[in-house]
């Protein structure tokens, strides 16, 4: 009886070993778990209709791609057109600010910056040439608003007063801060697009805008000091 049971156990073990070594069982064991869970993925094969590695409808947004560079160039060109309009607008607006200023130092600084602005316009025309494009202005709503605001300051203050001069400085510094932000962004774009000659030209203008802003701040300090001294006199 005992011998019969041992024989049955040996037979069962032998059958189990035979099943586990069968070709079908080995093939199933080699399959990935994804094949059994329904999540198995297939690679995208290139074809004449879809030669890229991207799936249909998937956009290529990798840095340095042709599409990316094209969009950046479009943004950069638009910004150049915008600041070209802005600088030309200032050439018209600055003489009015100089005439309205009562402080001689302030009036002289504005006229000096007018000459700088004319040079900056020429630099932008050189940028267009490097881009192989004709100079083209694109209306800058921001600069239009800033120059209109400056005109309102002149209209709402008395001539010859510190309030008029400080109001003009405040308006001019708003313009400078806008230009500093614009040129800083354009230099960054030019550098990333490997337009290094253009970046150098724009950097010259940025340096001038920062110097003008500093000068205006110093003149404002002088006007404040003069105004305070007059107020202290009996």
> Per-residue DSSP letters for 135-167?
------HHHHHHHHHHHHHHHTS-TTSHHHHHH
With a cut of 70, say whether residue 20 has pLDDT above it: no
Instruction: Compute how many other C-beta atoms are within 10 angstroms of the C-beta atom of residue 107.
Output: 17
Per-residue pLDDT tens for 145-170?
Answer: 999 999 999 999 999 999 999 999 99
Estimate to the nearest angstrom the gap between the alpha carbon of 79 and the chain centroid: 10
- The proportion of the chain whose per-residue pLDDT surpasses 90, expressed as a percent, equals 67
Does CATH number 2.40.50.100 belong to domain 68-221? Answer: no
With a cut of 60, say whether residue 55 has pLDDT above it: no
- Distance (Å, whole) CA 130 – CA 123: 11
Instruction: Compute how many other C-beta atoms are within 10 angstroms of the C-beta atom of residue 71.
Output: 12
Phi, psi of 60 (to 5 degrees): -85, 105
**Which has the closest alpha carbon to 165: 222, 117, 119, 205?**
222
Kindly state the tokens that stand for 184: 């800083």
Parse the chain into domains and list their residue ranges. Answer: 68-221
pLDDT score, position 206:
98
| Core vs surface per residue 115-134: b (16+ CB within 10 A) or e | ebbeebbebbeebbeeeeee
Helices 104-130 & 66-100 angle (0-180, nearest 10): 150
Whether this prediction's pTM lies above 0.85 is answered by no
Sorted by sequence, the CB contacts under 8 Å of residue 78 that are 6+ apart come out as: 138
pLDDT score, position 7:
42
Over residues 26-40, mean pLDDT: 43
Per-residue confidence at 226, pLDDT binned at 50, 70, 90?
A: confident
Per-residue confidence at 69, pLDDT binned at 50, 70, 90?
A: very high
pLDDT score, position 134:
97
Distances in Å between the Cα of 106 and the Cα atoms of 27, 43, 120, 165, 224 are 88, 70, 21, 8, 13
Per-residue pLDDT tens for 80-129?
Answer: 999 999 999 999 999 999 999 999 999 999 999 999 999 999 999 999 99
């Amino acid at each position: 009886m005992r011998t019969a049971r041992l024989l049955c156990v040996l037979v069962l073990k032998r059958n189990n070993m035979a099943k586990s070594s069968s070709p079908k069982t080995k093939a199933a064991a080699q399959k990935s778990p994804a094949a059994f869970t329904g999540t198995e993925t297939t690679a995208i094969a290139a074809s004449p209709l879809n030669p890229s590695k991207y799936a249909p409808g998937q956009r290529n947004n990798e840095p340095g791609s042709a599409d990316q560079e094209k969009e950046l160039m479009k943004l950069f060109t638009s910004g150049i057109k915008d600041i070209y309009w802005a600088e030309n607008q200032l050439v018209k607006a600055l003489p009015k600010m100089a005439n309205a200023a009562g402080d001689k130092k302030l009036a002289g600084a504005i006229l000096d910056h007018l000459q700088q602005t004319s040079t900056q316009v020429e630099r932008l025309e050189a940028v267009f040439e490097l881009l192989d494009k004709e100079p083209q202005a694109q209306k800058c709503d921001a600069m239009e608003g800033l120059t209109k605001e400056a005109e309102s300051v002149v209209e709402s203050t008395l001539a010859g007063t510190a309030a008029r001069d400080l109001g003009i400085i405040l308006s001019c510094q708003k313009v400078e801060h806008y230009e500093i932000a614009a040129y800083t962004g354009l230099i960054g774009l030019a550098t990333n697009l490997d337009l290094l000659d253009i970046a150098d030209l724009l950097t010259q203008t940025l340096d001038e805008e920062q110097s003008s802003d500093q000068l205006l701040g110093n003149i404002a300090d002088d006007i404040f000091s003069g105004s305070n001294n007059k107020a202290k006199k009996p």
